[in-house]
Amino acid sequence: MRDGPSRPARMDVRVTGDDLRTRTARERTQSRLLIMSAGFFGLFGAVALKLSFATVIAPMAPEQRQIAPQVPPIPHSDPKGMMAGDFALPQVHRATVTDRNGQVLAISLPVAQVYANPQEMIDAQDTAKKLRTVLPKLDEAELIRRLSTKKQFVYLARDISPMQEIAINNLGIPGIYFEPGERRHYPLGRVASHILGAVDIDDHGVAGIERSMDKRLDSDRTPLRLSLDVRIQAVVREELAAAKDLFQAIGACAIVMDVNTGEIIAMVSLPDYDANDFGRADPDARFNRAVTGMYEPGSTFKLQTAAMALQLGVAHPWDRFSSIPIHIGRFTISDMRTDHFAPWLTLNEVMAYSSNPAAAHMALDVGAQRQQTWLRDMGFFAPVPIELPEAGRPIVPRTWGISTVMTVGFGHGVAEPPLAIVRGTAATVNGGILLHPTLMARDADHANDPVGLTPAVAEAAPPTLTPAVITAASTEDKVDAATMPGATRVISPETSALLRRILRLDVTKGTGKTAESPGYFVGGKTGTAEKIGPHGGYLKHVNIAAFTSIFPMNAPRYAVYVMLDSPKPTPQTHGWTTAAWNSAPTVSKIVTRIGPMLGLFPNTTNPQAVDDAMAIPLEPAVPRGYRPLGPGNDPGDPRNQPKAPKTPAHDATHTAALPPRARLHAARAEQAAPRRPTHPEVRG
C-alpha cells in the first residue's frame, strides 16, 4: 500500500423527487412575489405621481359637487365697472337694485348657515377649537355644549361668507354641514335708506321699494333701476343735514323731481338710519317725512289758490284783493304784525308778498265747490301715487264751510305730504300736466336731454301785459300727457306760462329772494305754518318752514323742495324762523351744487335778457275794457254777499251766499264743531 496524501472521501448526494418538487414550487412562488411586488410598485408609483401632479405640480380645482353649491366662482377684476347695472351673483335669486347710473344700492350676497349632527361628532372639544380658528367670535363653551347634545341637528353659525365656508370645509370635520342662503346688503348705508326699505329674515320686503317691488325682485334677476341719482342724493342730504343742524330742527326733508317725467332724482328724510340696521333703527329715524309725514303746507298752497283762480277765469294778474284782517268767529286771519301791506294787493303782489287775507279773498271768489273740485283733481285728497307703501293719506276737513275755504286758501286746515306739494308745483310750470311721481327710471323714450339755459332772447323790453299777451305767452308743452303713464292735463299751457313768471317774481322781488342761485333763474314759493299741538291748538313760534321751487324757470326742468320741522332762530336770522330765512337759502345751495351734475350750467352770457323776458310787473296795468276786482268790486267779500234763504238742501257751498249776520252764525257753529282752528297771523 502506497503511502501518500489522503483524499477526501467522496460524498454521495442524492436528490430525491420530493426535494425537487419543493424547490421548484419555492422558485415559482418567488417569481410570483417579484411580479406582484413590481405590479404594486408600479401602481403605487402611478398613484404617487398622480397625487404629486394633483397637489404639488399642477393642483386641480375642486369639483362643484365637492363644496356647497352656493360658493360662487372667483370674480374677475372689473376696474372700469363694466359689470355695473348687470351684476348678479350665481345662486342668488333676489335682484339687485341700482340708481339711474348703475350704482348698486341693494344686493344679495351668498352666505351659508353652518349646522352639525352631534351624533356624528368624534370629539366635540376638538371640533369647537377648530371651528374657532375660522370663526373666532363663536363661544367655545357654547359650541361644546351644542355638539355634545344627543340631537341630530344644531345650528352653529349663520350668514358666514363663502371664504369661511371653504375654510371650515377644509378642516375635514365629520358631521359638519352647510345650508346655502343669501343676505341683503346695502353698500351705501344711509343713502336712500327710506326709499330702499328692508327685507326680513326670509328675504321678503317689509318696507320701501323692497316691499312694493317684492314680487318683481324675486321673480326677475334683472337689476331694478331706480330714478335716483346717488350723487344728487348725497348732495341734498349733506345740505339738508347742515340746515337741520344750523337751525336745530327736529326733522327735515328734501325732494328733487324732474317736472317733465315725474322721476324722483333725490328724496331725503332726516333723521335717517343705516339700511343695513333697519331692525334696530329708531322709529323716528324710519319715519319718511317726504311721503308719510302730513304737514299744513302754509303759503306754498297759495300757488294752488292763484292757479285755480287764474285757470277758472275768476282772477287776473291785475285784480286786487283786500289785505285787511278778516274776523271770523273768535279768530282773525291776518298777516304778520311787521308787514305793512297796502289795503289792496294785486294777484302778483299777493303771491310775492304772501298775504293771508288776500289769498283768503281769492279763495272766496272761487267758492267752496270749485275749490274742492280743484284740489281733488290736483290729487290733494288722495295718497300720492308713488312706489312706496308708506305713502300716507292727506288730512282734509269733513265739512267745507266759509272758514275752511279761506284757511285752505292760504294753506291751513289741511295737511299734505311734501311730495304732494312738489307734484302740484310741477303741474303749474310744465305746461299744466299732473304727473305720477315715480322712483322707477323712465324708458329712453321719456328721457329728456338737458335743457339749455341760454335760449335766444329778444333784447326788446317785454310787451304790456294784456289778455292777448297772456294767451300768447305759452310755450310748447314739455310733457306729452298722452304718452306719460297716469298724466292728465289740469292747467292750460297759457296759465302755466303765466304762473312761471309769477313764481319767478316771488324770487326776484318777493319773499323768496334768498333762494336765488345766479344763472339758474329759480322760481318758487315760501310757506310757513304754525305746528298743531298735541291738544289741537296751534303752537306759537313753532313752525313748519318750507320752500317749493323750480329751476330754471325759463325752461322748467327740476323741482326742488325743502322743509324744516320746528327750526330755531339764529343770530343770522334775527330771531325769525320763517321759510325765507332757512328753507329758501337751503334750496339755493342745493340748486347751485346739483345743477352741473344734472347737465345744467348757469347762464353767464345773458342772464339779464332772460330775466327781462320772464319779467312781470307787481302791479300790472288794467287792460282797457276790463273792470278789475278791487274796491267796490269784491265778490268774495263776506259783506257783499246777497241774502239767500236757508233751505233743507243747505250745505257748505250755500254758506258763502248767506248775509253777514247769518254767515257769522254759520261760521261760529262750524267753529264749535271739533276741528282744527283757523290759522292766525302766519305768513309764508
Sign of CA dihedral 66, 68, 70, 74: negative
Contact present, 656 and 368 (Cβ < 8 Å): yes
Contact present, 517 and 541 (Cβ < 8 Å): no
- Please tell me the total number of residues recorded for the chain in this structure: 684
How many other CB atoms are there within 10 angstroms of residue 22's CB atom? 11
Strands 97-98 and 224-225 come out as parallel
Q: What is the DSSP letter of 53?
A: I
Mark residue 179 as left, alpha or beta (left: phi above 0; alpha: psi -120 to 50; beta: remaining): beta
Query: E strands of 292-376, at which residues?
Result: 320-322, 326-328, 331-333, 344-346
The rounded distance, in Å, linking the Cα atoms of 187 and 109 is 11
Angle between the 368-377 and 402-409 helix axes, to the nearest 10 degrees? 50
Main-chain phi, psi angles of 198, to 5 degrees: -165, 170
Sign of CA dihedral 431, 434, 438, 443: negative
CA distances to 51, 61, 73, 167 from 58, rounded to whole Å, are: 9, 10, 19, 21
Residue 312, judged by CB atoms within 10 A of its CB (0-12, 13-18, 19+), counts as middle
Cell reading at 263: 322721476
CA distances to 1, 159, 310 from 373, rounded to whole Å, are: 165, 55, 15
Q: Which of 174, 176, 196 is nearest to 186 (CA)?
A: 196
Query: E strands of 412-522, at which residues?
Result: 433-434, 488-489
Query: E strands of 208-349, at which residues?
Result: 224-225, 251-258, 264-270, 320-322, 326-328, 331-333, 344-346
Contact present, 613 and 457 (Cβ < 8 Å): yes
Bridge partners of 154, per DSSP, are 116
Q: Is the omega angle on the peptide bond into residue 552 within 30 degrees of 0, that is, cis?
A: yes
Question: Which of 299, 322, 354, 355 is labelled catalytic?
Answer: 299
Cell reading at 572: 343770522
Contact present, 453 and 603 (Cβ < 8 Å): yes
Query: Does the annotation count 299 as an active-site position?
Result: yes
Straight-line distance from the first to the last Cα atom of the chain, in angstroms, rounded to the nearest whole number: 163
CA distances to 193, 237, 325, 426 from 190, rounded to whole Å, are: 5, 10, 47, 28
Helix (H, G, I), strand (E, B) or coil at 301: helix
Which sequence positions are flagged as catalytic?
A: 299
